[in-house]
Amino acid sequence: MGKHCQWRERLQKKGYRLTIPREVIIEVLRNSTSHLSAEDIYMELHKKYPAIGLTTIYRTLELLVQMKIIVKFDFGDRRSRYELSEKYGMKKHHHHLICSQCTKIIDYTDFINEELELIEKTEKRLMKKYNFSITSHVISFTGICLECKKDQT
């Protein structure tokens, strides 16, 4: 059994009920490589599950965030986007480059050595200073992507 089925077991072990909206939303996020908004998920599910409305999707997403199964991103365009947390997703640990113009999100995993060192050092220091156990981090940089830069010239 690969990483594929483990999330179900993990949820059940924690005593979480796997309702249909929860299950299908997780499935949509698993099958996506991008960062989806509630509306994107709604569009994706609507044909097959017309009974799942946008309100249910919003509510379920909030719950899944609280359960730490998904991560929510607010990129300033008033549309939250979601992706599976590292523990439950298929993606490797990555950081984000976010275009503030077209809201495209680039995942990158080709970290610069200094970047990793800096993060490790920072985490160590913060843990010591605040006696706080850091278990993960989300790093995003905002800017303007190549395509948008081309459009400007």
Task: Transcribe the chain into DSSP letters.
Answer: --HHHHHHHHHHHTT----HHHHHHHHHHHT-SS-EEHHHHHHHHHTT-TT--HHHHHHHHHHHHHTTSEEEE--SSS--EEEE-TTTSSSPS-EEEEETTT--EEEE----HHHHHHHHHHHHHHHHHHT--------EEEE--HHHHHHH-
Contacts (CB under 5 A) with Zn ion, residues 127-146? 145
Q: Which of 101, 118, 129, 132 binds Zn ion (CB under 5 A)?
A: 101
Question: Minimum distance from CB of 82 to Zn ion (Å)?
Answer: 10
Using the rule CB under 5 A, give the single segment among 48-56, 62-70, 78-86, 126-134 that binds Zn ion: 78-86
The C-alpha torsion from 106 through 113 and 88 to 101, rounded to 10°, is -20
Return the number of the residue (19 or 136) whose C-beta is nearest Zn ion: 136
Q: Which of 23, 62, 86, 107 binds Zn ion (CB under 5 A)?
A: 107
Count of residues touching Zn ion (by CB under 5 A): 8
Site string for Zn ion, 29-68 (x = CB under 5 A): ----------------------------------------
Return the number of the residue (57 or 70) whose C-beta is nearest Zn ion: 70
Angle, CA 68 vertex, CA 40 and CA 112 arms, to 5°: 85
Question: Minimum distance from CB of 96 to Zn ion (Å)?
Answer: 5
Q: Does 102 bind Zn ion (CB under 5 A)?
A: yes
What residues make contact with Zn ion under the rule CB under 5 A?
A: 83, 99, 101-102, 104, 107, 145, 148
